[in-house]
Chain A
Amino acid sequence: MTKILLLLSVFAISLFASGDAGVSGQRDLNVAAVIMFFLFVFATLGITYWASKRTKSASDFYTAGGGITGTQNGTAIAGDYMSAASFLGITGLVYFKGYDGLIYSIGFLVGWPIILFMISEQLRNLGKYTFADVTAYRLRQTPIRILAAFGSIATVTLYLIAQMVGSGKLIQILFGLPYEFAVILVGILMIGYVAFGGMLATTWVQIIKAILLLCGTTFMSFMVLSHFGFSFEAMFQEATEVHAKGLDIMSPGGLVSDPVSAISLGIALMFGTAGLPHILMRFFTVADAKEARKSVFVATGLIGYFYILTFIMGFGAIVLVSQNPEYLDIAKGTLIGGNNMAAVHLAHAVGGDLFLGFISAVAFATILAVVSGLTLAGASAISHDLYANVYAKGKVDETQEIKVSKYATIAIGIVAIILGIAFEKQNIAFVVGLAFAIAASANFPVLFLSIYWKNLTTRGAFIGGSLGLATAVILVILGPIVWGQILNGDAEAAIFPYKYPALFSVTVAFVGIWFFSITDNSEDAKKEREAFDVQNIRCQTGIGADGAVNH
C-alpha cells in the first residue's frame, strides 16, 4: 500500500519532469504552482493512506461508515459541486457576458433547497450505499437496479469525459504538461484515492479542496473589491466602460432566449442535480436525518457564497485582465488559453506569480476531487447494484463485494483516461447537458415517485425510467449541438430545436411511470403497493434505518 502510493508520487514527478517539451499555447512552468500542487498531492495521498487503514468494510468503502458530520458532508457536497468547470466556466461566462453568468449560477443553486425539502432525509432514512437502495426498496431488485446502475454509469461517464477533457486542457495551460500526460496523471491519482481510501479519502480530499478554493476565491474577490474602493457601482462603471458589449453586460442577454428553453434548462438543472449519483451518494455518509439536513444547509450556503464570488471575479477580470496585454492572445482576440482562463489570469493580476501558483494548484485539486467522487459513484453502481444485488442476488460476501468495487474503480479510471484522450479534439459542449438530462429524466423521476407515490410498481418505474432515458438521449442527438453543429456544421439544421430536452424527457418519464404503474394489475404490483406503508414509516421516522436508530 505504502509502496504503491510512493510509486504514484514518483510517477507524478516524472510526468512533470518529462512534460516540458514545447506544447503550444501553454504558460511557462510556474514553479510555485508545481510546488503547491505537490504539497496537495502528498497531503491527499497521506490522507488516502490514513483512510485506507480505516476502510475495511463495505460500509466504510461506500459511505465512510456513516461517520461524516453534517458540516463536513455539506462542505464535501459543495466541493463536489464547485468543479473546475463552475469555477472557471462561470467566472469566464461573467467575464464574457456579464449578467448572464449570474442567471446560470442561480439555476445551479435553486435545486438545493428542493433536494433538502423533498429527498435528502428520505434518502438517508431509506438508503444504505446507493440511491438504487431507495428505488429498489419495495420494487423488484433486478430490473430497478439495472435501470439505476445504467442511469448512474451513463451520468458518471459523461461527466467524467467533460472533467477529463477540461482537466487535460487546463493542466496543459497551467503546468505545461502534454495533454495525454495530464489526463493519465489525473486518472491514476483518482484511482489511487478511491481504490485505497474509499469514501473517507474522497470526502476529505473534497473538503480540503473546497476550503482551499473558497479561501482563494474570497481573497481574489476581496482584492477586486478593494481595487474599486468596495463600491459595486464603481466596479460596474469601469467594467461597462471597457467591455466590448458596454452597458449590455448589466442586463440579461441571449442565454435564456425563449420560454421553452428557459423552463427546460431550469428543470434540467433542478431535477438533474437531484439525480446525480455522486451527489445522492453523499447523503449516506452521515449518521441520520438531522445531519443529512444540516449537510444541505451548509452546502447551499457555501455554494451560494461561491457563486456570488464568481460574479465579482468575472467583473473584476473585465477591468483588471482584459486591459492588460500580458493576458491577451491578440491573434485570437481572446484571453491566453481562452475566456475560461479569466479567473486564472485574475489570480495573477491581483496576487502575482505566487498566488497564480496557488490558484492553479487549487484548480488541479478541484479536478482531482470531483473525478474521485464521480469514480466512487460509478464503482458503487457496478459493485453494489450490478454485482452484489443483480448478479449475486444479494447473497454476497462483503470482502468479495469490496474487491469488485476496487476492480470497478480501476476499470472506470482506465475508461476515463481512454475517453479523455479520445475526446480531446471533439466538441463536448453537449456532454454535461446530456449528463444532467439523463439524471433528471431517468434517475430523478423513479427516485422521487418511489419515495412519494404508493401506486408505483416495478413495471411503471422500469418502463417509464427507460423511456425518460431514451428520450433524453435521442433529443440531445437530434438537437442543435450534436445533429446541428457536430454532424451538419450548423445549429439551425437540428431536427429538435432546443438545446435542453429536460422539459420533454422528464415529462415522458413521469407520464410513462404513471401510466405503466396504474395499468399494472399483477400480483407483484399489489405487494409493492402494500409495502409502501412500511417504507413510508421508515422514511418518515428513520425507524429501522441504517445507523439511524437510538442515539
Chain B
Amino acid sequence: MVEKIKSNPSYIELVSKRSSFAWKLTILMLVVYYAFIMVLAFSPEVLGASLSGGITTVGIPVGIAIIIFSFVLTGIYVNRANGEFDDLSNKVKEDLSKEINND
C-alpha cells in the first residue's frame, strides 16, 4: 500500500510541487525579513532618510509593505494549495480507493 502511494504519479507530483513551492515562499519571506533586520543592524540611516523631503521616512512605507507582503504571501499559498494541491491530493485518494475496489 505504502509503495503503491509512493509510486502514484499524482502523489509524486503533489509532494514535489508543494515542497518546492512552500520552500520558495519560506525563503522569500526569510530573505525579506532578514534583509530588513540587516539594514536595521548595519545601516539604520537608510530607513531614517526622508521619503520625499517631508517628515515621513523611508522606513514607514517599508515597514507597512513587509506587513502587507506577509499577508499577500499567505494568500498566494492558500490560493494554490486549496486548489491545485488539494485536487492532486484528492486524485491520490481516488486512485487508492479504485485500487482497493479492484483488489
Q: With CB as the reference atom, state the residue of chain B lying closest to A116.
A: B74
**CB of A106 within 8 Å of the partner chain:** yes
Which residue of the partner chain, among B29, B60, B68, contacts A110 with CB atoms under 8 Å? B29
- CB contacts (< 8 Å) of B63 on chain A: these are 99, 102-103, 106, 311
- CB contacts (< 8 Å) of A519 on chain B: these are none
- CB contacts (< 8 Å) of B99 on chain A: these are none
Min CB distance, A451 to chain B, in Å?
11
Alpha-carbon gap, A299 to B100, bound state (A) = 39
**CB of A541 within 8 Å of the partner chain:** yes
A113 in contact with B74 (CB, 8 Å):
yes
B48 in contact with A250 (CB, 8 Å):
yes
Alpha-carbon gap, A185 to B65, bound state (A) = 41
Q: With CB as the reference atom, state the residue of chain A lying closest to B21.
A: A117
Alpha-carbon gap, A516 to B70, bound state (A) = 35
B70 in contact with A112 (CB, 8 Å):
yes
- CB contacts (< 8 Å) of B89 on chain A: these are 289, 540-542
**CB of A385 within 8 Å of the partner chain:** no
Given the interface contacts A116-B78, A250-B59, does A110 sit within 8 Å of B33 by beta carbon?
yes
Given the interface contacts A113-B74, A252-B40, A259-B38, does A118 sit within 8 Å of B22 by beta carbon?
yes
**CB of B84 within 8 Å of the partner chain:** no
B6 in contact with A533 (CB, 8 Å):
yes
- CB contacts (< 8 Å) of A308 on chain B: these are 64, 67
Which residue of the partner chain, among B64, B71, B93, contacts A543 with CB atoms under 8 Å? B93
**CB of A13 within 8 Å of the partner chain:** no
B37 in contact with A297 (CB, 8 Å):
no
B26 in contact with A541 (CB, 8 Å):
no
Min CB distance, B6 to chain A, in Å?
7
Alpha-carbon gap, A109 to B56, bound state (A) = 23
Q: Which of A24-32, A229-237, A350-358 contacts B (4 or more CB under 8 A)?
A: A229-237
A109 in contact with B70 (CB, 8 Å):
yes
A262 in contact with B55 (CB, 8 Å):
no
**CB of A397 within 8 Å of the partner chain:** no
Given the interface contacts A232-B60, A252-B40, A541-B93, does A301 sit within 8 Å of B22 by beta carbon?
no
Tell me what chain A mostly uses at the interface: helix, strand, loop, or mixed: helix
The number of residues on chain B lying at the interface, defined by a beta carbon within 8 Å of a beta carbon of chain A, is 50
B55 in contact with A258 (CB, 8 Å):
no
A262 in contact with B15 (CB, 8 Å):
no
Identify which of residues 12-44 in chain B touch chain A, using a CB-to-CB cut-off of 8 Å.
14-15, 18, 22-23, 25-26, 29-30, 33-34, 36-38, 40-42, 44
Min CB distance, A293 to chain B, in Å?
5
- CB contacts (< 8 Å) of B2 on chain A: these are 533-534, 537
B93 in contact with A250 (CB, 8 Å):
no
B67 in contact with A304 (CB, 8 Å):
yes
Most buried by B among A99, A236, A296: A99
- CB contacts (< 8 Å) of A413 on chain B: these are none
B86 in contact with A289 (CB, 8 Å):
yes
Q: Mark A247-274, 1 if CB is under 8 A from B, else 0.
A: 1001110001111001100100010000
B48 in contact with A106 (CB, 8 Å):
no
Which residue of the partner chain, among A106, A250, A293, contacts B36 with CB atoms under 8 Å? A106
Q: Mark A52-71, 1 if CB is under 8 A from B, else 0.
A: 00000000000000000000
Alpha-carbon gap, A289 to B87, bound state (A) = 12
Q: Mark A132-162, 1 if CB is under 8 A from B, else 0.
A: 0000000000000000000000000000000
Min CB distance, A87 to chain B, in Å?
16
Min CB distance, A441 to chain B, in Å?
18
A236 in contact with B93 (CB, 8 Å):
no
Most buried by B among A116, A237, A240, A550: A116
Alpha-carbon gap, A296 to B5, bound state (A) = 29
- CB contacts (< 8 Å) of A236 on chain B: these are 54-56, 60
B74 in contact with A297 (CB, 8 Å):
yes
- CB contacts (< 8 Å) of A102 on chain B: these are 59-60, 63-64
A-B CB contact pairs (8 Å), 13 listed: A99-B47, A102-B59, A106-B67, A114-B29, A247-B55, A251-B59, A256-B41, A263-B37, A297-B78, A304-B71, A533-B2, A537-B5, A541-B92
Q: A117-B23, A300-B70, A541-B5 are in contact. List 8 more A-B contacts (CB 8 A).
A: A99-B60, A109-B70, A247-B55, A251-B47, A252-B40, A294-B82, A304-B68, A541-B92
The 3 closest A-B pairs by CB, nearest first: A251-B48, A252-B44, A259-B41
